[in-house]
A and B are shown apart, each in its own frame.
Chain A
Amino acid sequence: MSEARTQILTSIRRSLKRDSASPEMVSTVENRLKAHARNLVPQRSNLSPSDRIDLFVSMATEVAATVERLPNLSRVPHAVADYLASQNLPAEVKVAPDPQLATIPWDKRPTLTVTTGRAADRDLTSVTAAFSAIAETGTLMMLSGPEHPTTLNMMPDTHIVVLRADQVVGSYEDGWDAVRRRDKEMPRTVNFITGPSRTGDIEQTLQLGAHGPRRLHILLIDGPSV
């Protein structure tokens, strides 16, 4: 295998008509990686915070997500229970073990069955917390970790996401900056989610819920925490 590695690298250098890379080339590459400079960022999302949130809502709605705005986290149990009832879905949710979601007063809606953990096959609805959201295209940014199992984003039929308004940024680049500010390594998985799962593979007709969620419902929390 390492023989293949050497040969491939040699073949690249031969094709590029040079031996090894010059010190200048090495430093060009190093600097580019270190600087990770932005390329052109479209003007579309260069907006005031409140316009940015409006853009996020309209772009997310365009791709068949639904968005409900709530004043604070204590409204979440009602919003979740009412949404499930409106869709004729059982009042059961699997909630991500996220400390912020743990502060939600779930017992305000005693009919709602709440468990936490990763998704299992029979889980119909999940509730997770977003890391950030990108106004440009109405995209949620989700990071994996012990508090955010990826399976909750992908396996249940219905995915409910709790997002604070102050987490909405303009561009993907703003999202990457936020990831880097955590000052930790890249998480195993970064999911950019734009609307529910879909396919056009049968006669190019749009069908939602191919393999991932059929419904993506976003609870946008305007005020600070509970």
Chain B
Amino acid sequence: MQSTSHAFKDNAHGALADERLQKALGKMKVGFQDKRTRAVARLPEFDTLRDQSRDIKNHVLEHLDLYLERFEANVIANGGKVHWCRTPGEARDAIVEICRSVDARIVTKGKSMIAEEIELNDHLEKNGLEPVETDLGEYIIQLRKEAPSHIIAPAVHLNKEDVAESFMKAHDKLDPNRSLEEPRALVNEAREMLRQKFLAADVGITGANFLIAETGSTVIVTNEGNGDLTQTLPKIHIVLASLEKIVPTLEDATTILRVLARSATGQEFSSYTTFSTGPRRPGDLDGPEQFHVVLLDNGRTAMLGTEFQEMLRCIRCGACMNHCPVYGAVGGHAYGWVYPGPMGSVLTPGLIGVQEAGHLPNASTFCGKCESVCPMRIPLPKMMRHWREREYEKKMSPQAFRNGLGIWAWFAKRPDMYRLGSRIAMGVLGMLGRRKGKFRSLPLAGGWTDWRDMPAPEGKTFHQLWAERQQGKASTGAATTASSSSDRKAA
């Protein structure tokens, strides 16, 4: 997918003004958050399971080479094949080559963010293949030639009228006067259309939520069952996965599965969790004849051993974006590439470069909600700060921002000057803004006042207020009440 991450600000402005999008986002927010809260409340062990899930992945990352070798050996022992790919190009070539080997025409696909990452559909089409997305949300956006706006709910930005419109246009052999008002009718129609594709497909491509070293198995989690039909009906099953998806044992995958669905959709467990090991066995009446795992690096091994290593624990549950105020306001497309929300703000600069995606780590209020809900306990805000530091080091932040910081730094090193300067500034702003209590516009602060008013300061600096408060405390001797800031951990 061609990135527009560099244009995050413009994208976000557009999104805020898009009424349809805002309506869809409004529905999404409450749904996901409430469901997760309820699911977590039902499982007293949830936080301990998060700790253990984090520890499993940390252990894997320290021994990544060993587990990958074991995984490969077990895939081969079960009659499958692993294709190691450094780049999106290598992964695309490997997949096209497998498709060619059976003269494939139709390729069904389960939901895979890695396929988005390597722009697989475009490439398959260029090579004369017909890729068909089978996850309902992915199918809808494929028809609309859009990118997913959420990693587990790709069409969450759309309303049912949008979907009906797309189906009317795409399914032009059907009765043009049929009713597509109800979601049920839309689901039924998609089921019918896609069932034909499942049966006609020569190759099925799925992603993987986990790869299991112990058994050489790959795991997918779906609610629709599309991933199962994708991998069971065609001659060939290709699993496209990035290499950090690996876990040691069936038990380890099980532990992380317990936090995955609850964090993602608030379900106790998704409808279908499927472990696939090799091709069909002698005597089996169905299942693929060939099993291929396309294992992609694309920048991940380079994140190992850096301050971004912890991001490789991510299980793509989407909880961080479901709870993010910025994502909730602008939606996924504004982020401009495959991975939106807080996890995207950390991962995207790692995969496509801070040059292109440097705005994303700034798209944060640092409220900390993402980290507090992340089942893998990934310190997302800390890592966004690391990217900001790198951006600053590379002298990529805007000149005005750098000048401002420079001036601030000069004063900060001279405490007396700092106090004097801020006293004058606060005094002047306080006087000017006294009548209205806020500013509609301020010189040098258009980035703020274009979108909201700047509250006028009361005329005193923090230092002054603090000194007064300390004095007051000493004179009365009364204990001040502890601040009742909200407790993040309670989420």
A interface, CB within 8 angstroms of B:
1-2, 4-5, 7-9, 11-13, 15-17, 21, 25-26, 28-29, 32-33, 36-40, 42-44, 59, 62-63, 97, 117-119, 121, 137-139, 144-146, 149-151, 153-155, 172-173, 176, 185-205, 207, 209-213
Given B66, B90, B136, B267, which contacts A21 in the complex, CB threshold below 8 Å? B66
User: Which chain B residues border A28 with CB–CB below 8 Å?
Assistant: 63
- For window 269-293 of B, CB contacts with A under 8 Å fall at 269-281, 283-287
Q: What separation, in Å, do the CA atoms of A95 and B304 have in the docked complex?
A: 50
Can you pick out 10 interface pairs between chain A and chain B where the beta carbons lie within 8 Å of each other? A12-B65, A16-B304, A29-B63, A32-B249, A37-B249, A150-B228, A189-B287, A192-B269, A198-B224, A205-B183
B258 contacts across to A, CB distance below 8 A = 42
> In the complex, are the beta carbons of A32 and B248 less than 8 A apart?
yes
CA distance A193 to B52 in the complex (A): 25
Point out the residues of chain A lying under 8 angstroms from B190, CB to CB.
210
With A9-B69, A188-B278, A202-B160 given, is the CB distance from A16 to B305 under 8 Å?
yes
> How many angstroms between the C-alpha atoms of A133 and B258 in the bound complex?
16
Give Cα A144–Cα B67 distance, bound, in whole angstroms.
26
A210–B226 Cα distance when bound, in Å, is: 8
Cα A198 to Cα B464 with chains together (Å):
60
Out of A194, A198, A204, name the residue touching B31 (CB < 8 Å).
A204
Bound-state Cα–Cα, A85 to B43, Å: 39
Residues of A within 8 A of B84 (CB): 1-2, 4-5, 8
The answer to whether B275 touches A203, judged by C-beta atoms less than 8 angstroms apart, is: no
Q: For A43, what are the chain B residues with a Cβ–Cβ distance below 8 Å?
A: 44-45
A194–B271 touching, CB < 8 Å: yes
A17, A118, A150, A196 — most chain B CB neighbours (10 Å): A150
Interface size of B as a range: 35 or more
Whether the pair B83, A40 counts as a contact (CB closer than 8 A) is no
Complex Cα gap A198–B28 (Å): 17
- Whether the Cβ atoms of A33 and B70 lie closer than 8 Å is yes
A199 to B252, CA, bound (A): 27
Known: A11-B297, A210-B225. A188 touches B287 (CB 8 A): yes
Q: In whole angstroms, how far apart are the Cα atoms of A39 and B54 in the complex?
A: 12
Q: Does B233 contact A (CB under 8 A)?
A: yes
| Contact digits for B114-149, partner A, Cβ 8 Å, 1 yes 0 no | 000000000000000000001111001000000000
Segment from B209-217, B465-473, B474-482 that makes contact with A:
B209-217
A63 to B268, Cβ gap below 8 A? yes
Q: Does B345 contact A (CB under 8 A)?
A: no
Q: Which residue of B lies closest to A205 (CB)?
A: B183
Given contacts A29-B70, A40-B255, contact A198 B271 (CB under 8 A): yes
- Which residue from B48, B153, B233, B267 sits with its C-beta under 8 Å from A201? B153
B254, A173: Cβ atoms closer than 8 Å: yes
Q: Please determine whether A144 and B265 come into contact, CB atoms closer than 8 angstroms.
A: no
- A145 touching B301, Cβ below 8 Å: no
A145-B284, A203-B27 given; 7 more Cβ-contact pairs under 8 Å: A150-B286, A189-B274, A198-B223, A200-B153, A207-B187, A210-B136, A210-B190
